[in-house]
Amino acid sequence: MDKMITKSESINQKRWKKFKSIKRGYYSFIALVTLYILSLFLPLFINSKALLVKYEGSYYLPAIVDAIPGLNSYYDGSIFNQDIAGEANFRHLQRKWKGTNNWVIMPLYPFNPYEDITNNESKMYEAPSSTHWFGTDDTGRDVFARMCYAFNISISFAFILTVLNYIIGVSIGGAMGYFGGKFDLFFQRLIEIWSSMPLLFVVIIISSILEPTFVLLIFIYTLVNWIFLTYYMRAEFYREKSKDYVSAAISMGQSNTKIIFKHILPNSLVPVITYFPFSMVGGILVLVSLDFLGFGLAPPTPSWGQILYVGLSNITKWWMVFAPIMAQFFTLLSIVFIGEAIREAFDPKIYSRLR
Amino acid sequence: MFNYVIRRLLLMVPTFLGATLLVFVILQMAPGGPLEKTVMQMQKGAPSGGGASEGGASGNSSSSSGTLLPKRALKELERFYGFDKPIWQRYLIWLGVWPREIKHRNVSFKLGENEKKKNMGKRRFAYIKREGSSLSVFDKEGKPSTLWKARFDMDISDEEIENFENLKNQGKLSEIKKLEATVYETEFSGVLTGNLGKSYTYQQPVTEVMKPRFKVSIMLGLTGWIIAYLVCIPLGIKKALRHGSRFDLISSVIVFMAYSIPGWAFGGVLLVLFGGGSFWDVFPLGGLHSPQEVWQDLSFFGKVLDQIHHAILPIIAWTIGSFASLTVLMKNSLLDNMSQDYIRTAFAKGLSEKRVIWVHAIRNSIIPIASGIGYIIATIIAGSYFIEMIFNINGFGKMGYQAILDRDYPITMGFLVVAVLIRLIANLLSDLALAAVDPRIRFK
């Protein structure tokens, strides 16, 4: 560190610059975030409900209503003079009204992830084609539509899971290192018990009993998974606590909360942040694994693991193996790229090689 | 060092108890356990079972009034699954520090009857005497028996039993014709004595069920890990030595890809491609060897080839699972060391590059790999569910998974015991391995 007295950038600005300079990480980041934000509006892009219907002079917006939670988006077939039981089939209407005054604008991909063979157009095990890009599954549901919805669920799951794990792991680990004593000892024993158990097995046991929902599954997995950060945070807080700046803060009469959150935490957070993307990779893999085993989210929920399970039980239906694995692969790959770039940006370890 | 190992071993005891207790309680408290499952099956099977009380999940209580089973049968079922005791006793029995009741015999005392003789098997007889509400068991010499015990199993109070005849004469308790009791033997048998119980589904002792499956998993896992080490360590070293070269970049891409796809999912891809579904029919779809009728006729050499043929895909899947992390670990560790001062010194004093790398740098960079040994052993067990599921191998992981589905508690707990023990020992082993490789580390 020689003279660095130029117009100083803050350390975070520098990190961001460095991160941007690592192209594959940066572009992966942009791509993933864009895709995720788009996936929040999936009902507008991938849906069997029409975006806009004009029928007998009045307009309907089924897909948009569908995208807003809490609104009733059920349109009976009889509204559009369609002779079927139950909900209107907009794909059918689009074909039927060709050349008339009435028209239908369908979303980009006019299938929804729950449409099974009870819908008379769907067939089981249809190979990929221009209508069903990734074919259909064992109950005639469109695999591409399911995969897109599953993308949203997987990322949300992994993100919420990781954030929760971080909050719990950092606070308990930090408290263990900072306060020490009986508190530390108690949690050390607890962590030892936790880390000696085959955690996935325990999760499977619990979810075989409880039949988990999204929230419940996150809760269960957080319950078994929070310990991994505590190791690191405990050691870090323990080390930082003995440093002079903490002694100074204590002698100035700072409260414990302030010392923990204002002084020690920012100093020990960097490695934890760089680990975040890899932790998310873990979260996505867990959801896929649990869904694959049938102990994940309850059945009709679209999920990569469930498609993969169907594919592997019908080995000739290769699209149901390749599609979810590819989706998972590219998602994880981009997260790994992001993680790699973040690590580089936060922790610029320059490897010098002699000779 | 010796003291350290002893202390670690002692610390394992509370950890083991804590882990098993936790899962035991979860399992036993869970609704829809084996008892309810059996009761439901029996009711469905019963001819008069109109299904009126189907699916009556009323907890583990014996008072499920809706069941069509006679009380006696329900009681016997409860006894079979051990649900007739409070949960702490069940755990202690399972551990083997509380007497387990076995060889139950039903005894019933008619009105006015005070003594009964009961065959306890192998021509041994127990003599049960009733005095009021207390039962005592004697052997054939007339001494109080140490082996057998007896108790009433009816829902009436001691007081009522005491005055049974009086009450009976007064016309109360008229529905009770006789007093029912149980004679049983007790023994200490549980985890500590090596008895993990009997599987509900296989009708075999758990240890017998586990043994062959455990062998299969260990074989697969060990082969997978040995191959992973043989590939990853040289690869990591080469990547480190040629850091930034084209070789490094290309292999990095492969490493990234391997990291983004779990081993079992990759196994699935392999299976679709080479399992003969819609692409190439090169490898078998699953199992560890050909079907029995083919397998029997093979020569020894043929059997070996057949097994290798079946094991190739699973082992590749296994190896991929640890490929990325192991390679990166080796590479980073070596790179770290190569930029250290002692390497500079070694070069400065004129040692050859070969010697510097292979003697000085490698030795230090292998340390983190050595400490991973415990982790490896642990994953041999934990990571095996998926690969065994996909390749349909009857291994240890698949057994554990199936046991959860079947609510086969003895096997579930047995699986847990083995997994926890392996993990505990593996952790210790990896610390010891660390000390063995790194002379700077001394445990106190």
Q: Which residues of B touch A202 (CB under 8 A)?
A: 22-23, 26
Per-residue confidence (pLDDT) for residue B58, from 0 to 100: 38
Q: Mark whether A90 and A193 lie in a shared domain.
A: no
Interval B291-337: pLDDT, tens:
777 777 777 888 888 888 888 888 888 888 788 888 888 888 888 88
Q: Which residues of B touch A315 (CB under 8 A)?
A: 271-272, 275, 277, 285
Per-residue confidence (pLDDT) for residue A35, from 0 to 100: 93
Closest-approach residue (CA) in chain A for B417: A197
Closest-approach residue (CA) in chain A for B391: A312
Measured between alpha carbons, how far is A341 from A334 in angstroms, rounded to an integer?
Answer: 11
Q: Confirm whether A112 is domain-assigned.
A: no
Note whether B262 contacts A285, CB cutoff 8 Å.
Answer: yes
Per-residue confidence (pLDDT) for residue A234, from 0 to 100: 86
Per-residue confidence (pLDDT) for residue B63, from 0 to 100: 41
Q: Confirm whether A344 is domain-assigned.
A: yes
- The mean per-residue pLDDT over the stretch A204-208 comes to 86
Per-residue confidence (pLDDT) for residue A351, from 0 to 100: 55
In this predicted structure, the answer to whether residue A118 has a pLDDT above a threshold of 80 is no
Instruction: Give the N- to C-terminal CA distance of chain B in Å, as an integer.
Output: 6
In this predicted structure, the answer to whether residue B50 has a pLDDT above a threshold of 50 is no
Which of B339, B381, B404 comes nearest A352 by C-beta?
Answer: B339
* d(CA B400, nearest CA chain A) in Å: 8
Q: Which residues of B touch A322 (CB under 8 A)?
A: 269, 272
Instruction: Work out the pLDDT band at B228, boundaries 50, 70, 90.
Output: confident
Average pLDDT, chain B: 78
Q: Confirm whether A167 is domain-assigned.
A: yes
- Token pair of A40 as six digits: 């929040």
Q: Mark whether A57 and A176 lie in a shared domain.
A: no
Interval A136-147: pLDDT, tens:
888 878 888 888
Measured between alpha carbons, how far is A78 from A84 in angstroms, rounded to an integer?
Answer: 8
Interval B122-146: pLDDT, tens:
667 777 777 666 777 777 777 777 7
Q: Mark whether A65 and A150 lie in a shared domain.
A: no
Q: Mark whether A216 and A96 lie in a shared domain.
A: no
Closest-approach residue (CA) in chain B for A309: B390
Three-state DSSP state, B138: strand
Q: Mark whether A230 and A336 lie in a shared domain.
A: yes
Q: Confirm whether A337 is domain-assigned.
A: yes
Q: Mark whether A152 and A292 lie in a shared domain.
A: yes
Instruction: Work out the pLDDT band at B53, boundaries 50, 70, 90.
Output: very low
In this predicted structure, the answer to whether residue A1 has a pLDDT above a threshold of 70 is no
ipTM comes to 0.80
Q: Residue A166 belongs to a domain with what CATH number?
A: 1.10.3720.10
Which of B272, B347, B401 comes nearest A354 by C-beta?
Answer: B347
**Nearest alpha carbon to residue B327 among B215, B247, B209:** B247
Interface with chain B: mutation pick from A22, A201, A284, highest number of B CBs within 10 Å: A201
Q: Mark whether A157 and A100 lie in a shared domain.
A: no
Which of A205, A351, A355 comes nearest B339 by C-beta?
Answer: A351
Measured between alpha carbons, how far is A178 from A185 in angstroms, rounded to an integer?
Answer: 12
Closest-approach residue (CA) in chain B for A338: B256
- Token pair of B106 as six digits: 């039903």
Q: Confirm whether A35 is domain-assigned.
A: no
Q: Mark whether A94 and A205 lie in a shared domain.
A: no
Per-residue confidence (pLDDT) for residue B49, from 0 to 100: 38
Instruction: Work out the pLDDT band at A155, boundaries 50, 70, 90.
Output: very high
Q: Mark whether A57 and A199 lie in a shared domain.
A: no
Q: Confirm whether A129 is domain-assigned.
A: no
| Residue A343: domain span | 145-351
Domain tally, chain A: 2
Interval B166-224: pLDDT, tens:
776 676 666 666 677 777 777 787 888 888 888 888 888 888 888 888 888 888 888 88
Q: Confirm whether A164 is domain-assigned.
A: yes
B95 in Cβ contact with B195 (< 8 Å):
no
Interval A321-343: pLDDT, tens:
888 888 889 999 899 889 888 88
Which of A193, A308, A315 comes nearest B277 by C-beta?
Answer: A315
Which of B19, B265, B277 comes nearest A197 by C-beta?
Answer: B19
Q: Mark whether A261 and A345 lie in a shared domain.
A: yes
Q: Mark whether A99 and A178 lie in a shared domain.
A: no
In this predicted structure, the answer to whether residue A15 has a pLDDT above a threshold of 90 is no
Q: Confirm whether A14 is domain-assigned.
A: no
Torsion of CA A130, A132, A135, A138, to 10 degrees: -150
Q: Mark whether A238 and A314 lie in a shared domain.
A: yes
Instruction: Work out the pLDDT band at A154, boundaries 50, 70, 90.
Output: very high
Instruction: Work out the pLDDT band at A161, boundaries 50, 70, 90.
Output: very high
Per-residue confidence (pLDDT) for residue B47, from 0 to 100: 47
The 10 Å Cβ neighbour count of residue B291 is: 9
Average pLDDT, chain A: 82
- The mean per-residue pLDDT over the stretch A267-279 comes to 83
Q: pTM for this one?
A: 0.82
